[in-house]
Amino acid sequence: MPEIFTVLGARPQFIKAAPVSRALARVGLSESIVHTGQHFDALMSDIFFDELDIPKPAYNLEVNSLGHGAMTGRMLEKLEEAMLAEKPDLVLIYGDTNSTIAGALAAAKLNIPVAHVEAGLRSFNRRMPEEINRVVADHVSALLFCPTRAAVANLGAEGIVKGVHAVGDVMYDTTLAAVKRAEGRSTIIETLGLTPGGYAVATIHRAENTDDPERFDRVVAWLEAAARETPVVMPVHPRTRKLLASRGLNPAGLTLIDPVGYLDMARLLSRATAVFTDSGGLQKEAYFHRVPCVTLRDETEWVETVEAGWNRLWTSKDYAPRRDITDYGSGDAATSIARHIADLLAD
Ligand code: UD1
Ligand code: UDP
């Protein structure tokens, strides 16, 4: 039976992998998961494996908390060892983190075909670590699963047309499953004493907002101003928690909480009035829950959310006229991905 080797490491990758793992099993493919260890706190990792029924990783490489070169390099070395031992027929990677690029490079150098879920996204800002990871991962992939039409066009502009499939967004698949599960299992709104329809959800963690203290202060000031209008609840990424602690900041009016699991996040989003974020995933999830979003960045890869009036950059005042977005599919992106992988391996 063909063997798929899936490389995961960071929170958004667990969330994307959940429906794909189930779909691979449905089409009869065998999957072995390697966790690079990039995210390691229980609330950044284990909780998603438990809540979303993701198969337990066969390996944990325990590489984390390092600079880009050291992190990517150590992952590359350990992933190569694991791939040599497992001899997979295909390596599956997700998104744009250091775990993604390490998985892509390790496989490419061993001549193992790579399948990239969430291919073709571009911010056109090469100062972002994620942008470099995306470009390199896409250029060594044999199968490129695009969540949007813009992503397909971006790949075309770089000369990548073979193996490109517009399949929709696997995060939409995850959201649909989570909304059902969250009902009756998540009590976060009651626990936090929030009024349904009377609060906003915020998250901040991107390097561009957390590496430069002056920029971070502007982001915090923006959130404090928003909190004067509506209560803001903010699950805090460990990177941001460290920064708040080291700078002795306690933003006024924000309810800061530990990172939450996916079911709690789905329930929080389902009753929120707004989302303020620099997260890629949350920009789309805001739309999935039909909640307007303000993206605290100077550009976004998810251009259709802005064009359809559900998202705006904090640098722009108004939303475009609102309409539905058709790109993300109907919750069956994972099934399409599994079928394309099975077809490639059958050839
Ligand atoms: C990474 C990704 C980013 C993605 C984000 C998702 C890269 C270059 N960046 O950023 O694209 O949006 O994940 O959340 O891959 N930490 C903990 N506990 C954890 C995880 C992290 O304390 O469970 C700390 C680390 O020790 C480090 C900091 O958070 O000090 C940043 O972690 P790192 O994995 O380097 O990058 P992220 O900011 O999480
Ligand atoms: N998320 C979560 N709990 C949190 C914060 C985020 O479950 O406390 C989910 C969020 O709903 C989305 C994903 O994590 O599905 C986004 O991950 P993150 O913002 O860390 O990374 P990005 O998408 O920016 O790469």
pLDDT at position 159 is: 98
Q: Which two tokens stand for residue 56?
A: 């337990």
Pocket test for ligand 2, best of 14, 174, 203, 302 (most atoms within 8 A of CB): 203
Residue 315 in this model has a pLDDT that exceeds 90: yes
* Ligand in nearest proximity to the CA of 260: 2
pLDDT at position 164 is: 98
Pocket test for ligand 2, best of 279, 288, 302 (most atoms within 8 A of CB): 279
| Ligand 2 pocket check for 308: Cβ under 6 Å | no
Backbone torsions φ then ψ of 233, nearest 5 degrees: -105, 130
Pocket test for ligand 1, best of 46, 135, 205, 285 (most atoms within 8 A of CB): 205
Output the DSSP codes for 34-67. EE--SS-SGGGTHHHHHHTTPPPPSEE----SS-
Distance 343 CA to ligand 2 centre (A): 31
Enumerate the domain spans of the chain: 3-169+329-346, 174-313
Mean pLDDT of 164-168: 98
pLDDT at position 107 is: 98
- Percentage of residues of the chain with pLDDT beyond 70: 100
Residue 347 in this model has a pLDDT that exceeds 90: no
Q: In this structure, which residue's CA is closest to atom 4 in ligand 1?
A: 97
Ligand 1 atom index nearest CA of 65: 26
Output the DSSP codes for 129-165. HHHHHHHHHHHT-SEEEESSHHHHHHHHHTT--TTEE
Q: In this structure, which residue's CA is closest to atom 26 in ligand 1?
A: 65
Residue 3 in this model has a pLDDT that exceeds 90: yes
> By the 8 A CB rule, do 307 and 322 touch?
no
List, for residues 13-30, the tens digit of each pLDDT value. 999 999 999 999 999 999
Residue 32 in this model has a pLDDT that exceeds 90: yes
pLDDT at position 26 is: 97
pLDDT at position 152 is: 98
CATH annotation of 174-313: 3.40.50.2000
Ligand 2 atom index nearest CA of 259: 8
* Ligand in nearest proximity to the CA of 97: 1
List, for residues 169-225, the tens digit of each pLDDT value. 999 999 999 998 998 899 999 999 999 999 999 999 999 999 999 999 999 999 999
How far is residue 241's CA from residue 237's CA, in Å, rounded to a whole number?
6
- First-residue to last-residue Cα distance in the chain: 14
pLDDT at position 183 is: 85
List, for residues 231-281, the tens digit of each pLDDT value. 999 999 999 999 999 999 999 999 999 999 999 999 999 999 999 999 999
Residues in the chain: 347
Q: CB within 6 Å of ligand 1 — which residues? A: 10-12, 38-41, 44, 64-65, 96-98, 129-130, 205, 237-239
DSSP-based three-state secondary structure for 323: coil
Active site residues: 205
Q: In this structure, which residue's CA is closest to atom 7 in ligand 2?
A: 262
Report residue 7's pLDDT band, with 50, 70 and 90 as the boundaries.
Answer: very high
Among the four given CATH numbers 3.40.50.2000, 3.40.50.970, 2.115.10.20, 3.50.50.60, the one describing domain 3-169+329-346: 3.40.50.2000
Residue 2 in this model has a pLDDT that exceeds 90: no
List, for residues 79-93, the tens digit of each pLDDT value. 999 999 999 999 999
Mean pLDDT of 31-54: 98
Exposure of 263 in the CB half-sphere (CA atoms within 13 A): 16
For residue 87, give the amino acid letter. Answer: K
- Tell me if domain 3-169+329-346 and domain 174-313 are identical in fold: yes
Report residue 1's pLDDT band, with 50, 70 and 90 as the boundaries.
Answer: confident
* Ligand in nearest proximity to the CA of 132: 1
List, for residues 33-42, the tens digit of each pLDDT value. 999 999 999 9
